[in-house]
Amino acid sequence: MNAFRIAWRASRDLFDELFTAIAVNLLWVVINLPLLGVAFSLGLTAMIEWDVQPLFLAALVLMLAVIPLGPSSTGLTLVAQRIFEGRSVSWRLFADGFRAPRNRSWQVYAGWMAVFIILLVNIAFYTQIPPPYNAFLTMFFLYVVILWIAVLIHLGPLVVLQEDRSVVKLFRNALILMLGRPVATLITMLLMTVIVLLSIAINLIPLLLLTPVWLAVWGFRATAQAIEEIEERRRALQNPTDDGPPAAGGRGRRGQIRPRD
């Protein structure tokens, strides 16, 4: 299937720049792991003890984590873009995420994190309501959380690719890409989840060495493929008799993007 082919090509692309990928991956982990680890520990404590205070602190730490998470994730995406395009990669490219796109990455990841926290709070609230009334609402918000996490597959690449600086349009386009290929998105997310769980289970070594940058390259390739398919469908609707090859690379109207070849 297409999702498996994308995963394989992303893995092959990553192998070509393995040592540089490991270097930038370690930088990303060193920058983000402390705050994300504290937030995870507080959230786990809140779930075990059913205590509101650790949950509130976890939410606060997650929002603080956006400060390093946004630019560093954008830097990781810039590296992933170069790897996808087959161009030379340097670990210094990672630092570019802390420069020009810094403010935009803060806005995007802060918006995503705020919605994520609200959804988790809703799940925590409805699980405390006596059954059977809590079952439907808990499952509903759990399903929305899964969809919201899936948005991350396209969110990072669009921060780099989308010309329009509107954060609202960026989220809209990420949702369109996700919902436009539901089966591929589901398979991709399941595969990524398996990779993350295995990385955590095997003493965190793969997570430290490779997993985040692998997911970044994978997500960038999946986003480029989704954009290409949408552009092909648009061209087919506009020119149903035109069988010529698609135009190479470039950008569309404001708020739209086309992947490079």
Dist CA 128 CA 101 (whole Å): 41
Number of helices (H), then strands (E), in the chain:
10, 0
What residue ranges of the chain have pLDDT lower than 50? 244-256, 258-261
What pLDDT, on the 0 to 100 scale, is given for residue 54?
A: 82
Dist CA 71 CA 76 (whole Å): 9
What pLDDT, on the 0 to 100 scale, is given for residue 173?
A: 94
What pLDDT, on the 0 to 100 scale, is given for residue 253?
A: 39
Please state the pTM of the whole predicted model: 0.84
State which amino acid sits at residue 46. A
What pLDDT, on the 0 to 100 scale, is given for residue 214?
A: 94
What pLDDT, on the 0 to 100 scale, is given for residue 241?
A: 59
Q: What is the DSSP letter of 132?
A: T
What pLDDT, on the 0 to 100 scale, is given for residue 232?
A: 85
What pLDDT, on the 0 to 100 scale, is given for residue 252?
A: 45
- Can you tell me which residue has the tokens 């949702």? 175
What pLDDT, on the 0 to 100 scale, is given for residue 258?
A: 46
Dist CA 261 CA 121 (whole Å): 42
Sign of CA dihedral 102, 16, 25, 42: positive
Task: Quote the tokens at residue 174.
Answer: 């990420």
Q: What is the DSSP letter of 240?
A: T
Number of neighbours of residue 232 by Cβ within 10 angstroms: 11
Dist CA 217 CA 64 (whole Å): 26
Dist CA 233 CA 128 (whole Å): 46
What pLDDT, on the 0 to 100 scale, is given for residue 254?
A: 43
Helix, strand or coil, per DSSP, at residue 96:
helix
What pLDDT, on the 0 to 100 scale, is given for residue 221?
A: 94
